[in-house]
Amino acid sequence: MDKVRVRFAPSPTGPLHLGGVRTALYDYLFAKNQGGEFVLRIEDTDTARYVEGAEEYIEEALEWCGIIADESPKKGGTFAPYRQSERRHIYDKYTEQILKTDYAYIAFDTAEELDAIRAEYEARGDVFSYDNKSRNRLRNSIALSEEEVQRLLDEKTPYVVRFKMPIDRTLNLVDIIRGNSSVNTNTLDDKVLVKNDGMPTYHFANIIDDHEMEISHVIRGEEWLPSLGLHTLLYEAMGWEAPQFAHLSLILKPEGKGKLSKRDGDKFGFPVFPLNFTDPATGNVSKGYRESGYLPEAFINMVALLGWSPADDKEILSLDEMAKEFDLNKVHKAGARFSKEKAEWFNHQYIQKTSDEDLLNILKNSDLNLTLSDDKLLKVIKLMKERATFPKDIYENGKFFFEAPTSYDEKASKKAWNDETSAILGELASNLEEADFNAENLKQTVHDFAENKGLGMGKVMMPLRLSLVGELKGPDVPDIMELLGKEETISRINNAINNFK
C-alpha cells in the first residue's frame, strides 16, 4: 500500500470520551506524520444503540480539538458516503461474495431459539457459543439439508450470515505497538456478519469499508484486539490485503487501576468528555473540557501525552509539532494513568502562552459579568494571568477589580488593622488626592508616606491592600491602585475606615 490513509471510525452511541479523543488524535497525528490522509467514518449500523445527536457531537468535538478530517460525512470525499447506514448498496455485493466462499454460511436460528439453547447450557453449567463445535447441531446451511435450506429461503424465513471460523488454525497477529501474538481459531466463535435485515454488523462493514476506502493503518482502542483474529480472517476470505494494525492501551483511573470511567470524573471533579453532553434520554448533562475552561490546545496536548512520549521528554507541543514527532513505535504498551493535576498544569501553561487579547475574547464570550472597559480588562488579565489555571480564574481571583469589597476577611483584618490604622490610612487617602495615579508613582508615594511617618511598609501596605481587596491577596498594591483609579481607591480606603470604626 503506497498512500497512508488512517480512519477514525466511531459509532454514534454516545459522546466521545477521552479514550476516543486520543484514538482520533493518534490516527490524525500518524496520518499527518506520514503525509497521509485522515478519514472520519461514522459506523452506525447498530441502530439499536444509536443515540440522537452523537454524530454531531463527535464532529463538533473533533473540530474543537483541531483534529480536522480530510474526508468525512460532512466534507465528503472520493470514497463517500462516510456514514455506514448510507453504504448498504456497497455491502450487498460483498455479502454475496463471501457466501460463495467457505468462510460464511447462513443461519435461521431465531433470537428465541438461541436464548433457549443458551439457557440449556447455563443449566448444565456451560456457556453456549455459536462455533465450530455447536454449529452442526443448529439451524443453518451447514447442518440442514440443501432442500430444507431452500424451503426456508422460499418461505422467506429471516436469516443471518455467520462467519465460518476455521477449525484449529493458529493465526499470527501482528500489531505495531504490541508486536506479534497468536490465537487459535478454536477459541473464536462464528460471529454474525450480516443481520436478518440485510445490514452488515460492525465486523463485516468495518473491514469492507477499510478495504474500499483504501485504509493503510487501523489505529484503534485495545477493546478491539479480541476482534483482530476475525478481521485478519475476513481479509483472507475476501482475498484482500489487510491494513496494518495498532491497538492503543487504556486510559486508566487516576489511582492507576482499571479503565477511566465517567464515575471517576464525577468523583474527582474532572470531565471525561471533550464537550458538555446532554443525554437525550435522561436530560442529564455530562461536563466537557471545553465548558470547564480548558483551551483546546492544552486539552489535546494533555491527551496526546497519555500514552506517548515525544523525544527529549518535551511536554508542550502544538498539534503541528506533535504531528512532526509522532511515532507509533513510541506509543506505550502499558495503560496511561490519567491525572487531573497534570490536565490543569497543561491548561495553566497554555493560558500563559495565550495573548491578553485572546484571553479577553474568551472572557467576553463567557457568561461572566464583566463590568469594565476592554482597556481595563486587558490590564486585569495582565495582572491576574500568571496565577490562572482557567480563564475564569482571572475574573474570580480578580473580583475586587470589578466590585468593591463588601466585607473584610476576619483573620486578615486582625493582622492588618489596629487602633492607629484608620488615622494612618485617612492621612494617606488625602495625600493620594494629589497623586498621579500610575503604579510607579504610587509606589513611591506610599513609600515616602510610610518613611515620613516612620512606619514600616507593612503597616501601610497591609491595611491598604485589605481596603482595596478585602483580603491580603492579589497582585502588587500600586498596580491595583492604578487600575482602580483615584476615585475608587480613595473611596475604598474610606469604606474600610468606616467599617473598622
* Chain positions contacting ligand GLU, by CB under 6 A: 9-11, 43, 202, 206, 218, 220, 224
Grid cell 439439508 in the structure block, residue? 145
Q: What is the DSSP letter of 72?
A: B
Minimum distance from CB of 206 to ligand GLU (Å)?
5
Strand partners, 162: 105, 192
**Cα–Cα distance between 356 and 166 in angstroms, integer?**
64
Minimum distance from CB of 226 to ligand GLU (Å)?
12
Which residue out of 74, 75, 195, 262 is catalytically annotated?
262
Q: Which three cell numbers stand for residue 303?
A: 491527551
- In the chain, helix, strand, coil percent, each to 5? 50, 10, 40
Minimum distance from CB of 87 to ligand GLU (Å)?
14
Q: Is 262 annotated as a binding residue?
A: yes
**Cα–Cα distance between 457 and 347 in angstroms, integer?**
36
Annotated active-site residue 262? The verdict is: yes
DSSP state string for 232-294: HHHHHHHT----EEEEEPPEEPTTSSSB--HHHHHHHT--SBSS-EE-TTT--EE-BTTTTT-
Minimum distance from CB of 327 to ligand GLU (Å)?
20
Q: Count CB neighbours of 65 within 10 A.
A: 23
Q: What is the DSSP letter of 141?
A: T
What is the distance, to the nearest Å, from the Cα of residue 466 to the centroid of all Cα atoms in its chain? Answer: 42
Nearer Cβ to ligand GLU (238/462): 238
**Cα–Cα distance between 399 and 405 in angstroms, integer?**
9
Minimum distance from CB of 231 to ligand GLU (Å)?
8
**Cα–Cα distance between 44 and 55 in angstroms, integer?**
9
Minimum distance from CB of 41 to ligand GLU (Å)?
8
Q: Which three cell numbers stand for residue 110?
A: 431465531
Residue 151 backbone phi and psi in degrees, to 5:
-60, -45
3-state secondary structure 336-360: EECCHHHHHHHHHHHHHHCCHHHHH
Grid cell 461536563 in the structure block, residue? 287
Q: Is the dihedral of CA 33, 34, 35, 36 positive or negative?
A: negative
Asked whether 500 and 413 are in contact (CB, 8 A), the reply is: yes
**Cα–Cα distance between 257 and 423 in angstroms, integer?**
61
Nearer Cβ to ligand GLU (225/450): 225
Nearer Cβ to ligand GLU (43/471): 43
DSSP state string for 463-474: HHHHHHHSSS-S
Nearer Cβ to ligand GLU (8/346): 8
Pairing of strands 179-184, 170-175: antiparallel
Nearer Cβ to ligand GLU (218/384): 218
Q: What element of type H or E holds 192?
A: strand 192-194
Minimum distance from CB of 7 to ligand GLU (Å)?
7
Nearer Cβ to ligand GLU (42/306): 42
Minimum distance from CB of 212 to ligand GLU (Å)?
14
Nearer Cβ to ligand GLU (9/304): 9
Q: What is the DSSP letter of 187?
A: G
Nearer Cβ to ligand GLU (34/339): 34
Which residue numbers belong to the known binding site for ATP? 262
Active site members: 262
Which residue numbers belong to the known binding site? 262
